[in-house]
Amino acid sequence: MASQETRQSPGAEPGFFYGYIIVAIALCMMVAIWGTYYAFGVFFKPVLTEFGWTRAITSGAFSLSMIVHGLLGIVMGGLNDRLGPRVVMTLCGFFLGLGYLLMSQIGAVWQLYLFYGVIVGIGMSGAWVSPLSTVARWFVARRGMMSGIVVAGTSIGALIGPPVANQLISTYDWRISYIIIGSVVLVVVVLAAQFLRRDPAQMGQVPYGESKGGEQGLQVGAEGFSLKEAVYTRQFWVFFAMLLCFGFSLFSTMIHIVPHATDLGISAASAATILATIGGLATVGRVVLGSAADRIGTRQVFIIGFILMSAALFWLVPAAERWMLYLFAAVFGFGHGGMGASESPLVAGLFGLSSHGLIFGVAGLGFAIGAAAGPFLTGYIFDVTGSYQAAFLVSAAIGIIGLILTTLLTPITDERRQNKVPSPI
């Protein structure tokens, strides 16, 4: 199917590289999308209090959204390769806004699971793969840095979203707050999507860092593994398992840290600020470690990230005072920030760009499985034990497994790599 994006003459010589516009737009979209998504933890207790559901049941809606997100992320990755990010992100913005608007009307568990688990999950399905796959096509040099800047939008969203959501809930209530954030994300994402372009060739340009002297730059996406070739490599499944561990440790914490803090007697406002601190330091981690990935390699960034996240989770188990939770948030946020920034460049380094979005989407299913299992299992452990301590220990152990897997990830060196992927990891 031919791309629906408007193509310009490959011979055009623009005065400004449009890739920087792509990065800026993707950053803004990430702030809006992930800021509202991370706010689920702030809505958690108000919804729990009104309906009297268990924590496992309530967090299960988020888990379902991650499963839908992961499964449809494969589809959206393929559509991004074929139709481009403008179509994909317009669809995602519509469903995401619709899901939040409908959340204001829930009155039963099935509605929670349909509106948040399914509709919001559909909206989130392209929110990670599409922007990052697009940036990978626009940048060869500085790919880690630019990916880090874009992914920093998720952390900025996590920094802004929870306190704003908490203030909205305090001023109005949680239902009106969902109407407000649903309207905002619908308008911002759909409008911003109209300025996205799949690759530099559609603007008559070449990827940043590629030679401008001929067809190499314009056809850089032709090099790399197909999905079928990628899944027959050991590296793909190691990376898949790494992302599963990452998703488990990350979202089991992001969803339950606010309820955990309030259980310790910390105010809802301070608990939201702790969650925002994770986002703030993740922003630093995404930029600092994302830039470092261009020098030390993306695999090393994952190693650093898993070490920091696991250490922070072990610290969280006995942490009972507010300053201890803030210290946890700082270390945990910085660690996971760098890992998020390195996912897309690592896929490009291992498998190239020809099917980057599709391969990234399939690998991302591993992250979604972990991110779905983590919050639900954490809520279940709390319902059974009355404490989050055992759950945080499980998350820390999963992080250690992720660290071990990362040390086993090596470049593809056999004949399948020849003339396909020149990038290191």
CB 139 within 8 A of CB 132: no
pLDDT tens readout for residues 210-256: 654 433 333 334 467 888 889 999 999 999 999 999 999 998 998 89
Query: What pTM was computed for the model?
Result: 0.74
Neighbour count for residue 15 (Cβ, 10 Å): 4
Stated length of the chain: 425
Q: What is the pLDDT of residue 9?
A: 37
Residue 5: left (phi > 0), alpha (psi -120 to 50), or beta? Answer: beta
Q: What is the pLDDT of residue 214?
A: 38
What does residue 352 show for φ and ψ, rounded to 5 degrees? Answer: 80, -165
Handedness of CA 230, 232, 234, 239 (dihedral sign): positive
Mean pLDDT of the chain: 85
pLDDT tens readout for residues 388-397: 999 999 999 9
Neighbour count for residue 56 (Cβ, 10 Å): 18
Q: What is the CA radius of gyration of the chain?
A: 21
Q: What is the pLDDT of residue 368?
A: 86
- Domains defined for the chain, CATH in brackets: 19-201+221-411 (1.20.1250.20)
| DSSP state, residue 202 | G
Residue 52: left (phi > 0), alpha (psi -120 to 50), or beta? Answer: left
**How far from 126 is each of 185, 366, 408, CA to CA, in Å?**
14, 15, 29
Coil, strand or helix at 225: coil
What does residue 277 show for φ and ψ, rounded to 5 degrees? Answer: -65, -40
| DSSP state, residue 221 | G
Q: What is the pLDDT of residue 204?
A: 82
Helices (H), 83-221: 85-103, 109-112, 121-124, 129-138, 143-171, 174-193, 215-218
Task: For Cα atoms 237, 417, 133, give the angle at the middle one, nearest 5 degrees.
Answer: 60
**How far from 396 is each of 54, 90, 157, 307, CA to CA, in Å?**
24, 37, 25, 10
Report the distance separating Cα 208 and Cα 21, nearest Å: 13
| Residue the block writes with tokens 């898993």 | 306
pLDDT tens readout for residues 151-209: 888 878 888 888 899 999 999 999 999 999 999 999 999 999 999 998 888 888 888 77
Q: What is the pLDDT of residue 90?
A: 96
Report the distance separating Cα 66 and Cα 121, nearest Å: 6
Q: What is the pLDDT of residue 420?
A: 59
**How far from 40 is each of 63, 126, 407, CA to CA, in Å?**
11, 19, 33
Report the distance separating Cα 237 and Cα 409, nearest Å: 10
| DSSP state, residue 416 | G
CB 364 within 8 A of CB 73: yes
CB 409 within 8 A of CB 425: yes
Q: How confident is the model at residue 8 (pLDDT cuts 50, 70, 90)?
A: very low
Report the distance separating Cα 399 and Cα 397, nearest Å: 5
Specify the higher pLDDT residue, 338 or 57.
57
Reported as type and span, the H/E element at residue 35 is helix 19-38
| DSSP state, residue 224 | B
Over 80: is that where the pLDDT of 78 sits? Answer: yes
Q: Which of these, 72, 82, 90, lies nearest to 199 by C-alpha position?
A: 82
Q: Which residues have CB under 8 Å from 66's CB, separation 6+?
A: 121, 124, 247, 251, 368, 369, 371, 372, 375
Range name among 98-107, 157-166, 339-348 with the lowest pLDDT average: 339-348
Determine the residue type at 264.
L
Using a 10 angstrom Cβ sphere, with 0-12 exposed, 13-18 middle and 19 or more buried, the burial of residue 110 is exposed
CB 171 within 8 A of CB 19: no
